[in-house]
Structure 1
Amino acid sequence: MATTAAYDEIADWYEHEFLGATDTGHADPLGLGDLITELLGEGTGTCLEIGCGTGVHAARVRELGRTPVGVDLSAGMLSHARARLPVARADAERLPFRDGSLPAVLAVMVHTDMPGYPAVLREVARVLSPGGVFVHIGVHPCFCGGFADRSDPERVVVRPGYLDGHWTTDSWTDQGLRDKVGATHRPLPELLHAFLDAGLTPERFAESGGATPLVLATRARSASGTAPGTGTGPGRR
């Protein structure tokens, strides 16, 4: 199993300082919870969150009637998540679930942490039940990355480099994550093609996070066969 020493080292900072720094009277400044509600929707059965981190989205998933479980590579992050949902330390490229066993899978702000995200999407397609829903919520590939200077939110400067898929620790701020753990950038067409290549069919899109959006979200489904909003019950390892 691969290690994620960077996130292990910053897990306490992430839980107590980074998440706290985003809570300035609005607990969810990027609207991630609203996107989960809009795109995941109400349902039953297990909802697997890949790259669950400290598990902060579990409460919203429960509000929708679903049962959250999480996987992450970082033992440090999972040490905080265990109080919020059942978790397992696992590689998202090798999910410990049977084929077709999950009605829903969620990924929130993690695809840039996963250099093998196309392989992750293939695993998502494998474990989803027929007609199962996958919700991807991630940093916006067009306006976030080492090529984007967001120091002035009213005048975001997109420099050359957007078309170059790469990993970098370049960041316009030293108060965030990317200067600490890096990020993998994929241009929008490459990201969307990865969904199609995995056998996932996008059906809804959304953006959030300001006039120049920070977040791009997608709801996709596996091959049809189950009515939307229904599932086959909890996945089994």
Structure 2
Amino acid sequence: MRTAYDEIADWYEGQFLGAQQSDPLGISAALRELLGEGSGACLEVGCGTGVHAGVLRELGWTPVGVDLSAGMLRYGRERMPVARADAQRLPMRDSSVDAVVAVMVHTDMPAYPAVLHEVARVLRPGGVFVHVGVHPCFCGSFADRSDPAAAVIRAGYRERRWTKDSWTDQGIRDKVGAAHWPLPELLNALVDAGFGLERFSEGGEPLPIVLSVRARFSIDGGAAGSA
């Protein structure tokens, strides 16, 4: 089965990533702040080409990745051990990983709440999960960011739908489409999956582009304490 990302894997690795400055959205900074140093296996759900593996290793973790796109994994396997699998059916035992990260992928997953439940299944009790994603309030088909100094927010924020509508043809949304999750639905999905929310951060200038969350899973569905 081919995925939409198979069609753009070479462009993504060679042009999209190559054109970016050093951590323009603060993704690496968010991982350092919210995941922090640790040891053991850290699963990246929707790892794509594996570009975040280096940061995970710097923090002491052993990165492993899962993605559905064979095209993206051609690059990903050069950076860490990977498996091709659906994020709703992770090929891992219950309570088998120490940490999980999902980086800029929740808009690629129409069933993200189901993915979060699967993350909770494979994460050991007390394990940390870090979500780094497109900011629900400032990015989406309802947001025009063509002016670097301002974002124009139009009607549509409350609509949870899949679309390729985008203010730019230099990004990913116009090529493969994206889902939108209003902020309450995103945070409630984390809580419903049994995570206690601990810390938050935003990245991107001058208005946030990325929202990041650190959450912790406990077997009783509540917060399990801070790192």
TM range (shorter): over 0.9
The alignment status of 1:200 with 2:198, answered yes or no, reads: no
- Larger CA deviation: 46-55 vs 3-12: 3-12
The AA in structure 2 aligned to 1:160 is: A
The AA in structure 1 aligned to 2:136 is: P
Q: Report the Cα distance in structure 1 between the residues aligned to 2:226 and 2:53, rounded to whole angstroms.
A: 21
CA offset at residue 98 of structure 1?
0.8
The unaligned stretches of length 5 or more in structure 2 are none
Indicate the SS of the match to 1:13: helix
Query: Using CA pairs below 8 Å that are at least 6 residues apart, which structure has the higher relative contact order?
Result: 1
In structure 1, the residue matched to 2:183 is 188
Identity %: 68
CA offset at residue 154 of structure 1?
1.1
| TM-score of the superposed pair, with normalisation by structure 2 | 0.96
In structure 1, which of residues 30, 38, 42 is the aligned counterpart of residue 33 of structure 2? 38
CA offset at residue 211 of structure 1?
2.4
The alignment status of 1:209 with 2:204, answered yes or no, reads: yes
Q: Report the Cα distance in structure 1 between the residues aligned to 2:43 and 2:226, rounded to whole angstroms.
A: 17
The AA in structure 2 aligned to 1:74 is: S
The AA in structure 1 aligned to 2:98 is: P
After superposition, the C-alpha distances for 1:36-59 in whole angstroms (9 at most, x for unaligned) are 000001111000000000000000
In structure 2, the residue matched to 1:128 is 123
CA offset at residue 223 of structure 1?
0.5
In structure 2, the residue matched to 1:18 is 16
The AA in structure 1 aligned to 2:5 is: Y
The alignment status of 1:73 with 2:68, answered yes or no, reads: yes
The alignment status of 1:60 with 2:51, answered yes or no, reads: no
After superposition, the C-alpha distances for 1:174-225 in whole angstroms (9 at most, x for unaligned) are 0110000000001000000000110011100000101210000000000169
CA offset at residue 169 of structure 1?
0.3
Kindly indicate whether the alpha-carbon contact (under 8 Å) linking 2:49 and 2:76 is maintained by their aligned counterparts in 1. Answer: yes
The AA in structure 2 aligned to 1:50 is: V
Kindly indicate whether the alpha-carbon contact (under 8 Å) linking 1:131 and 1:228 is maintained by their aligned counterparts in 2. Answer: no
| TM-score of the superposed pair, with normalisation by structure 1 | 0.92
Q: Report the Cα distance in structure 1 between the residues aligned to 2:44 and 2:226, rounded to whole angstroms.
A: 19
Structure 1 runs of 4+ aligned residues shifted over 4 Å read 224-229
- Larger CA deviation: 131-140 vs 28-37: 28-37
Kindly indicate whether the alpha-carbon contact (under 8 Å) linking 2:43 and 2:100 is maintained by their aligned counterparts in 1. Answer: yes
After superposition, the C-alpha distances for 1:134-163 in whole angstroms (9 at most, x for unaligned) are 000000000100000000021210000001
RMSD between aligned alpha carbons?
1.4
Q: Report the Cα distance in structure 1 between the residues aligned to 2:189 and 2:219, rounded to whole angstroms.
A: 19
The AA in structure 2 aligned to 1:17 is: Q
The AA in structure 1 aligned to 2:176 is: V
CA offset at residue 5 of structure 1?
2.3
After superposition, the C-alpha distances for 1:57-103 in whole angstroms (9 at most, x for unaligned) are 00000011110000000000000011100000011000111111111
Aligned residues: 224
The unaligned stretches of length 5 or more in structure 1 are 230-237
In structure 2, which of residues 144, 151, 156 is the aligned counterpart of residue 149 of structure 1? 144
Q: Report the Cα distance in structure 1 between the residues aligned to 2:200 and 2:219, rounded to whole angstroms.
A: 19
Return closer, same or farther for 1:4/1:221 CA change in 2, 3 Å cut-off.
Answer: farther
Kindly indicate whether the alpha-carbon contact (under 8 Å) linking 2:3 and 2:68 is maintained by their aligned counterparts in 1. Answer: no
Q: How does 1:96-135 map to 2 (within 5 A)?
A: 96-135=91-130
Kindly indicate whether the alpha-carbon contact (under 8 Å) linking 2:67 and 2:73 is maintained by their aligned counterparts in 1. Answer: yes
